């Protein structure tokens, strides 16, 4: 992916140094190697290839959500609604399939459309009313989560034949397997990499994150781009909800509580600057793998609480935020 020039406050262009620009990405890769090596040395069976594949199987839905979050953060924004939209998607899918008897071929495009429309609405409010993304997406989070509880306060199982067949399908090779959800997630990552690296939307996304005022003065479509990235985030959240419904075979109002924080953590640990303008989807994939490996190590350990996952993620976030700040100062 080509480097995107940024600007300083005085309006003079600056070019990011490659060594500094890629430093957070290299740090994430090194962290991943160290964590995996430590796991292999400490735990029997950790070196099994299926252990790594299970990281993708268990986190395919998070990877899709994190792709949408990457687009938003690259523009300097934030989307706190993604977890609630994931839960709403599982609830809508479950109730339409089970209670209403709808065809899955109607339910699937409908829930994806609803997610995209929610993102579109938030993007329009953020840009045209000039309200901070934190506030708008927080309101979107409450709206989507509230809608979940109006549908049902209890879990709704999914027994639709198509849904269950996709959920149970395994793609096997060489004695190992992955789920269809993994292929979908990797396809979303590939499309996202292409869009960010080789399309006008991608270039505009980086430019707006670098300096929105300069992007506007250059005649770039700031409104259209900003609305587009929130629409993409809403669509990815809905798709992540579909993948989670494959994984859980149920809809539940409590699904994906805190997933927005996991997605943000994966993006930041993957090297994307919270201020926008710099970052790569490859780093987001590495960030999701780091979170997945933390969960796997805690599972292998056996005597640690699952809350240690949050503690380790918090420490890593502090470390990577400091690293990002250091890189940003050296680029000035």
Instruction: Please check the confidence at residue 2 and state whether its pLDDT lies above 90.
Output: no
Residue 156: strand pairing partners = 251
Q: Quote the DSSP letter at residue 250.
A: E
Question: What average pLDDT does the segment 286-300 reach?
Answer: 92
Q: Which residue has the tokens 């997610």?
A: 115
**Which pLDDT score, from 0 to 100, does residue 250 have?**
95
Going by pLDDT thresholds of 50, 70 and 90, the confidence category of residue 321 is: confident
Residue 170 belongs to domain with CATH number: 1.10.3470
**Which pLDDT score, from 0 to 100, does residue 170 have?**
94
Residue 171: strand pairing partners = 178
Question: What average pLDDT does the segment 54-74 reach?
Answer: 97
Report the 10 Å Cβ neighbour count for 104: 15
Task: Provide the whole-model pTM.
Answer: 0.91
Question: What average pLDDT does the segment 12-16 reach?
Answer: 44
Structural contact between residues 67 and 188, judged by C-beta atoms closer than 8 angstroms:
yes
Q: Flag whether 2 is in a domain.
A: no
More confident residue, 262 or 216: 262
CA 112, CA 120: separation in Å to the nearest integer? 12
Q: In this structure, what are the phi and psi dihedrals at residue 157, rounded to the nearest 5 degrees? A: -70, 150
Q: Flag whether 332 is in a domain.
A: no
More confident residue, 144 or 326: 144
Q: Which residues in 299-332 are b (16+ Cβ under 10 Å) and which e? A: eeeeeeeeeebeebbeebeeebeebbeebbeeee
Q: Which structural domain range is residue 223 located in?
A: 16-325
**Which pLDDT score, from 0 to 100, does residue 328 have?**
64
Question: What average pLDDT does the segment 285-292 reach?
Answer: 95
Q: Flag whether 268 is in a domain.
A: yes
Instruction: Please check the confidence at residue 20 and state whether its pLDDT lies above 90.
Output: no
**Which pLDDT score, from 0 to 100, does residue 6 have?**
42
* Residue 174 vs residues 113, 168, 250: alpha-carbon distances, Å: 38, 19, 31
Q: Flag whether 196 is in a domain.
A: yes
Lowest mean pLDDT, pick from 13-27, 43-57, 76-90, 256-270: 13-27
**Which pLDDT score, from 0 to 100, does residue 331 have?**
59
Instruction: Please check the confidence at residue 15 and state whether its pLDDT lies above 50.
Output: no
Mean predicted lDDT score pLDDT of the chain: 90
Over pLDDT 70: what percentage of the chain?
A: 92
226-261 pLDDT per residue, tens: 999 999 999 999 999 999 999 999 999 999 999 999
More confident residue, 178 or 4: 178
> Using N-to-C axis directions, what is the helix angle for 23-42 and 307-331, rounded to 10°?
150
Q: Flag whether 251 is in a domain.
A: yes
Q: Flag whether 208 is in a domain.
A: yes
* Pair of tokens at residue 173: 């090779």
130-142 pLDDT per residue, tens: 999 999 999 999 9
Q: Flag whether 72 is in a domain.
A: yes
**Which pLDDT score, from 0 to 100, does residue 1 have?**
41
**Which pLDDT score, from 0 to 100, does residue 312 have?**
86
Instruction: Please check the confidence at residue 332 and state whether its pLDDT lies above 70.
Output: no
Q: Flag whether 174 is in a domain.
A: yes
**Which pLDDT score, from 0 to 100, does residue 256 have?**
95
How many separate domains does the chain show? Answer: 1
């Amino acid at each position: 992916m080509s480097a995107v020039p940024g600007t300083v406050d005085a309006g003079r262009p600056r070019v990011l140094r490659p060594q500094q620009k890629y430093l957070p990405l290299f740090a994430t890769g090194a962290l991943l190697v160290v964590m995996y090596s430590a796991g292999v040395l400490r735990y029997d069976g950790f070196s099994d290839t299926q252990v790594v594949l299970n990281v993708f199987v268990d986190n395919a839905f998070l990877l899709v959500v994190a792709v949408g979050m990457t687009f938003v953060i690259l523009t300097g924004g934030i989307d706190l609604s993604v977890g609630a939209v994931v839960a709403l998607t599982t609830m809508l899918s479950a109730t339409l399939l089970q209670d209403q008897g709808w065809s899955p071929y109607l339910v699937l495009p409908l829930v994806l459309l609803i997610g995209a429309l929610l993102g579109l609405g938030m993007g329009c409010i953020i840009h045209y009313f000039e309200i901070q993304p934190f506030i708008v997406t927080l309101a979107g989070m409450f709206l989507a989560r509230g809608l979940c509880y109006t549908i049902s306060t209890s879990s709704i199982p999914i027994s639709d034949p198509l849904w269950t067949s996709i959920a149970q399908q395994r793609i096997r090779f060489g004695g190992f397997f992955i789920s269809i959800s993994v292929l979908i997630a990797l396809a979303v990552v590939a499309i996202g990499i292409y869009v960010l690296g080789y399309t006008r939307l991608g270039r505009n996304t980086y430019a707006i994150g670098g300096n929105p005022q300069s992007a506007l003065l250059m005649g770039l479509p700031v409104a259209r781009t900003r609305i587009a990235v929130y629409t993409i985030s809403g669509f990815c959240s809905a798709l992540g909800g579909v993948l989670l419904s494959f994984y859980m075979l149920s809809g539940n109002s409590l699904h994906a509580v805190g997933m927005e924080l996991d997605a943000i953590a994966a993006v930041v640990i993957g090297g994307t600057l919270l201020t926008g303008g710099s970052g790569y989807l490859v780093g987001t994939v590495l960030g999701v793998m780091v979170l997945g490996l933390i969960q796997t190590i805690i599972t292998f350990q056996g005597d640690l609480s699952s809350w240690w996952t949050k503690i380790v993620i918090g420490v890593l976030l502090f470390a990577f935020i400091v690293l990002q700040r250091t890189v940003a100062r050296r680029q000035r």
